[in-house]
Structure 1
Amino acid sequence: MLLAYARDAEQTLQPESCSDSFDYAVSLASYHLESGQEGARVLFGPGAEEARRTVLTADDVAHRLSQVPLPEVTAAALRSTLADTVDTARYWQDPDGEDILVAAEPVRRELRRVAEHIARSAHAQWWTTSVAADQWSVGWSESVGWSEDGKDSAGSTTAELLRDYRDRTAAEEVRAERDRPADPSANWSGWWWSTPPTRCSSRLLFDRTPAGLWFVEDSMGWERAITRRVNIPAGARVYEVDGAQAWAELCRQFPVEVTAQKRHDWYRTTGRSGRWVIPDWPRLAERYEGVHLTVAGYLAAAGTAIVVDADTASVIAGWAPDHTYWLTDTVNLGSDDPRTWVCDTSGMHPSWIEEAHH
């Protein structure tokens, strides 16, 4: 996210990219770092041949980053950068050139300036807060199970969804153990998410738009959505995932073995080989109504190999920042009218606009 924020900051002050810009340096350095990988970016057009011969190091990128002025943080800019970061999460493939670049010490060192700049802003303070009382569910018009009024069309209770999920996960582990290669580097992919199969919701942001409209991992380019208020009972117990340790504790208390079905995707994205577990959501539902991932928790831990014990780890995958997954039917959709949204993609960043009801 820090890299994206710095690139946006430079583009705001210098809309036209040039060969001595930070943005150009990031693009070129990333190109060379991922060269030869499957799906690597390709250079073409005027100047492509010269760019292929020009090698910029992490030190070069860090120096250019140090020259980028950081404008005052705005809520809109921070949201756009976070949304772009979430959308580009890829937990089933190798780190790309930008991932490798930001892991280099010279760049990491210079990115601390960006992190401190954002952390000082009042607009980032909600990133560490617990689940908000005002929650909204998002339904995408192009997705399976969507209905015009924003209500669930599946008809199953939350308990039924969790039982079915538990059975399918256990059956898939048996199949994967039997049918898939034990070599984690084998070219194999499967269901890489670690989310419950239940309704999720998020808070309203500074402009009264639900966070779930903006923060979607690996989005499908949806341009229309229905949102509904979610009723949360007083005293609802919500487990807060504010970082790797909180997730690891869930996995220690309620582990479900998923090594055979996750090993290939999670090895590819983390580089770790070994046993994998996820939380047992049906068991967790006996203690909590929901599980909330803070923005800070997402940025610190999502997509990483989270150590559970000496030989076991887990990954927060498929989640989005500020999402709360609800594990019981004590939480339900409100009876008030749904809100309909359309996505305007004409600007530098997508923007969600509410449709007026007639």
Structure 2
Amino acid sequence: MDSSPSASRVAELLLAGPRGRRLLLEYALASELAQHPVRSEDSFGQAVIYAAHWLDPDVIGGRALRMQSAFGWFDSLFGDVAAELDIPEVTATEVAERLGAVELLEPTPVVLRNALVAAVDSARYWQEPDGADILASTPEMSGALQRVAHHITAPPHTTWWCTPVDISAQYALQWEDILPKTVPDDVHAALLTARRRERAEEHIARTERDPDPTANWSGEWGSHPPLTLPSSTRLLGDGSPAGLWLVEDSLGWEQAVSVELIVPKGMSVFEIENAADWAKLCARFPIEVTAQKRHDWFRTTGRAGRWVVPDWVQVAEHYDGVHLQVGAYLGAAGVAIPVDDSTGTASVIAGWNPDETYWFSSDIAYDQEHIQWVLVDAGADMVWKPAST
């Protein structure tokens, strides 16, 4: 396979973060299912289901498990009926051994997209990682997943994961039942309003919430810019916006409208290429969110301490937008990213879809032409198609 620095860099990012490792797991599952559609008891896929079951915090807590994959739903109800189910205890070592025997599919845009969709959709920042994420993070799985990472990262299909925003082709989405966004006349005022709300939430959280990070509290766990601001993604090879596919914790939307975002040349965009870039952004423009984030982010990262996010008011004074590259998302989303060791602060990239750019300028505009998209059954997959076709 290609050993160029770009391929090595993508592989390194995939292995570094929970979303990247989940993508590798999903790719391996797809490879086995493509060759063996009927899953046997000694298959890799069945081993993943069993091992993920016993590692899942929900199952350990006696609740129901529903493990999602881009290649099918695996539903097993536990809790009250757990005693009636004979679930084998499969170790991560056994899973890794079975993965080693899986013949991996050659990378294609569709297979890679499906694995990426599954990794993004299964993200969660308000509770512990699920069993599949925990399984993929075990030392026993490291070597087996490395094989998958180096197999899939040869150009050209994954090269775009680590490329900057292309301002000449950016597309925004309007989802069904959600009010369309507008470009604020005064972006600075909109950002100030959002910052006042965040500071008020922090004050309330300090006053009312238990400072113990293990306490049963939850709140606003995202760290992206205000959702009222315009955001956009690129087009994929099939002509569909990446944002149609790459949605964290999706709500099952089946319709959307895309519109091109007209971005003037010369816009200054901060590129988040990796965890270090996010740390720099937080260190340069910090706003503390410890009280409002500590419970959710402790559950998702296991870290207790001070938390900060970027102050988007300050960021917007220097940049017209911020772009989260897919590679950075796969390598760093959901991870406790150190920001300042001297003050014990860290941050989390949470709730921000990969390849999404948020814009801080009133000089951008929405085009007049809209495209209606619908999610349709294409046999093996559900795919987004223009409504006219």
Q: TM-score range by the shorter chain?
A: over 0.9
- Residue 15 of structure 1: which of 37, 58, 75 is its match? 37
CA distance in 1, matches of 2:86, 2:24: 26
CA distance in 1, matches of 2:358, 2:198: 18
CA distance in 2, matches of 1:63, 1:49: 28
Q: 1:350: Cα distance to partner?
A: 2.4
- Residue 271 of structure 1: which of 286, 297, 302 is its match? 302
2:381 maps to: 349
Answer yes or no: is the 8 Å Cα contact 1:142–1:222 preserved in 2: no
- For residues 125-140 of structure 1, the aligned pairs below 5 Å read 125-133=159-167, 134-140=169-175
CA distance in 2, matches of 1:277, 1:284: 14
Q: Which runs of 5+ in 2 are unaligned?
A: 1-22, 67-75
2:366 maps to: 333
Is 2:24 aligned against 1:2? yes
Q: 1:95: Cα distance to partner?
A: 1.5
CA distance in 1, matches of 2:281, 2:259: 29
Give the match's secondary structure for 1:227: strand
1:149 maps to: none
Give the match's secondary structure for 1:181: coil
Larger mean Cα displacement after TM superposition, 8-17 or 339-348 = 339-348
Answer yes or no: is the 8 Å Cα contact 1:28–1:51 preserved in 2: no
2:61 maps to: 37
CA distance in 2, matches of 1:232, 1:294: 18
CA distance in 2, matches of 1:119, 1:231: 32
Is 2:323 aligned against 1:297? no
1:281 maps to: 312
- Residue 200 of structure 1: which of 228, 231, 254 is its match? 231
Q: 1:236: Cα distance to partner?
A: 0.5
Answer yes or no: is the 8 Å Cα contact 1:31–1:40 preserved in 2: no
Q: CA RMSD in A?
A: 2.0
Q: 1:158: Cα distance to partner?
A: 2.8
Answer yes or no: is the 8 Å Cα contact 1:231–1:333 preserved in 2: yes
- For residues 299-314 of structure 1, the aligned pairs below 5 Å read 299-310=330-341, 311-314=344-347
1:209 maps to: 240
Give the match's secondary structure for 1:52: coil
Answer yes or no: is the 8 Å Cα contact 2:222–2:351 preserved in 1: yes
Q: Identity of counterpart residues, as a percentage? A: 46
1:226-256 alpha-carbon deviations (Å, 9 max, x no partner): 1110111111000000110000000000000
Answer yes or no: is the 8 Å Cα contact 1:215–1:321 preserved in 2: yes
Give the match's secondary structure for 1:338: strand
Larger mean Cα displacement after TM superposition, 341-350 or 164-173 = 341-350
Is 2:355 aligned against 1:322? yes
Letter in 1 for 2:171: W
1:74 maps to: 108
- Residue 276 of structure 2: which of 222, 227, 245 is its match? 245
TM-score by length of 1: 0.93
TM-score by length of 2: 0.86
Letter in 1 for 2:212: D
2:19 maps to: none
Q: 1:52: Cα distance to partner?
A: 3.1
Letter in 1 for 2:370: P
1:61 maps to: 95
Answer yes or no: is the 8 Å Cα contact 2:224–2:350 preserved in 1: yes
CA distance in 2, matches of 1:238, 1:100: 34
- For residues 181-192 of structure 1, the aligned pairs below 5 Å read 181-192=210-221
Larger mean Cα displacement after TM superposition, 95-104 or 272-281 = 95-104
